[in-house]
Amino acid sequence: MALSDTEIERYSRHLLLPEVGPAGQEKLRAARVLVVGAGGLGSPAALYLAASGIGTLGVVDCDRVDLSNLQRQILYGTDDVDRPKATVAARRLRELNSEIAVVTHALELRAQNVASIVGQYDVVVDGTDRLATRYLVNDACVILGKPLSSAAIHRFEGQAMTYVPGRGPCYRCLFPDASAAAVASCAQAGVLGVLPGVLGAIQATEAVKLVLGAGELLVGRLLTYDALEMRFHEFPFQRRPDCAACGDAPSITAPADAAAACEDDTPVLRRLSPRELVTLLRDVERGGPPVRLIDVREPAEFSAGHLAGAESIPLAELERADWASPGQGATVFMCRSGARSARACAIATRHGLREAAHLEGGLIAWAAAIDPTLRVA
């Protein structure tokens, strides 16, 4: 179907470009792009994709807007605090471009749902803040043959790469396994607010080029950006024949959750829901075996609000801890959203702590399900 008069006016600057033109704009309109994570990276990426006229834009995010998000997550405003990100993002994107369809997926991507969601789209833009999800999305894209623009940020540094099935390496070729990395999140390490703007815009650019079939992509090239020094670097990397996802004999033939995919040397990663933790703590009050609560967030986050009786041991300290005597009894690790505590739980388990568990969904889930007065920084 030809572009309408409104579309011709809206996209006039695109139509002037020979690389886009009316045919390219129709391709953009017909395209379905999934943005995983409507946070720092996903916000600018989704805004530019919507403005560009991507016909169907999917947004995956199960989080709610937090005041601390607003320094960089430009999809949201002050009035949106505590509202579901996916819902607010969809409204904002539709305001920006009423010609497009926005599909919300207010859920956490897991092994059991990732293929059915990714499978609905032509291109995936990964802006997640969890390494486990980053690998899950990569693996799903490899298995389903979907192109992927992936980026990540830390303090003043960002990275971006693009995967195109059959044309180059995937994220696992770049970093085969990051489960041993004490890779801090933005909540732990901080991040310059405008940094994800640069990387998210690069991701949107790659997605648009993927749809158009124009230009050179970041395939087999890792682009790094240091905002403090204002330097870009580019590093070539190749497909690994032994890659677990896209190699000659891949061992990952179906998407798997973090415990299996990223922490496969962890015997058991026990998760407790907030209600299960309540039950456990009630048992303690009734004379049951003691439970040690360890909050692995940074001290500033801990100071803002924490569970009664919890000890503060930041994840970085836990990494360096002397595990000669791992201790006995149950220990429950917790953090803001469950990523760091899962890592802590895996470390503790590997060091011989027999009854280690972590609070699934973190203190955000606790505040939502048990105690809304808990301040989660």
Active site positions, annotated: 186, 335
Per CB under 8 A, does 130 bind other proteins? Answer: yes
Q: How far is the CB of 235 from other proteins (least distance, A)?
A: 5
| 183 forms part of the interface with other proteins (CB under 8 A) | yes
Helix (H) or strand (E) holding 95: helix 85-96
Q: Are 148 and 206 in contact (CB under 8 A)?
A: no
Give me the residues paired with residue 126 across strands. 36, 150
User: Is there a contact between 85 and 38 (Cβ–Cβ < 8 Å)?
Assistant: yes
Q: Which stretch binds other proteins (CB under 8 A): 51-59, 136-144, 227-235, 275-283?
A: 227-235
Q: Which residues pair with 163 in a beta bridge?
A: 148
Shortest reach from residue 317's CB to other proteins, in Å:
12
Question: Which candidate, 77, 78, 82, places its Cα nearest to that of 95?
Answer: 77
- 237 vs 323, beta carbon nearer other proteins: 237
The reply on whether position 154 binds other proteins by CB under 8 A is: yes
Find all residues with CB under 8 Å of 62, minimum gap 6, and list them.
84, 85, 86, 106, 107, 108
Nearest-angstrom CA–CA distance, 330 and 358: 10
Does 158 bind other proteins (CB under 8 A)? Our answer is yes
Segment interacting with other proteins, rule: CB under 8 A, options 9-17, 226-234, 293-301, 366-374: 226-234
Contact segment (CB under 8 A) with other proteins among 19-27, 136-144, 152-160, 294-302 equals: 152-160
The residue among 32 and 155 lying less far from other proteins, judged by its C-beta, is: 155
Please, which contacts does 228-237 make with residues 24 or more away whose CB atoms are closer than 8 Å?
228/156, 228/192, 237/161, 237/169, 237/173, 237/174
Contact of 336 with 363, CB cutoff 8 Å: yes
151 binds other proteins per the rule CB under 8 A: yes
Tell me: does residue 155 bind other proteins (CB under 8 A).
yes
Do 131 and 183 contact (CB within 8 A), yes or no?
Answer: yes
Of 229, 248, 285, 322, the one binding other proteins by CB under 8 A: 229
DSSP 32: E
By CB under 8 A, the count of residues binding other proteins is: 47
Query: Per CB under 8 A, does 66 bind other proteins?
Result: no
Q: Which of 182, 214, 313, 374 binds other proteins (CB under 8 A)?
A: 182
Answer whether 310's CB lies under 8 Å from 295's CB: yes
Stretch binding other proteins (CB under 8 A), from 8-16, 79-87, 88-96, 179-187: 179-187
234 binds other proteins (CB under 8 A): yes
Query: Is there binding between residue 374 and other proteins (CB under 8 A)?
Result: no
Residue-by-residue DSSP string for 124-152: EEE--S-HHHHHHHHHHHHHHT--EEEEE
Both tokens of 224, joined, read: 């790094």
Least distance between other proteins and beta carbon 265 (Å):
12
Kindly state the smallest distance separating residue 307's Cβ from other proteins, in Å: 24
- Summarize as ranges the residues that interact with other proteins (CB under 8 A): 37, 39-42, 126-131, 134, 151-159, 174-178, 180-186, 189, 191, 196, 222, 224, 226, 228-229, 233-237, 339
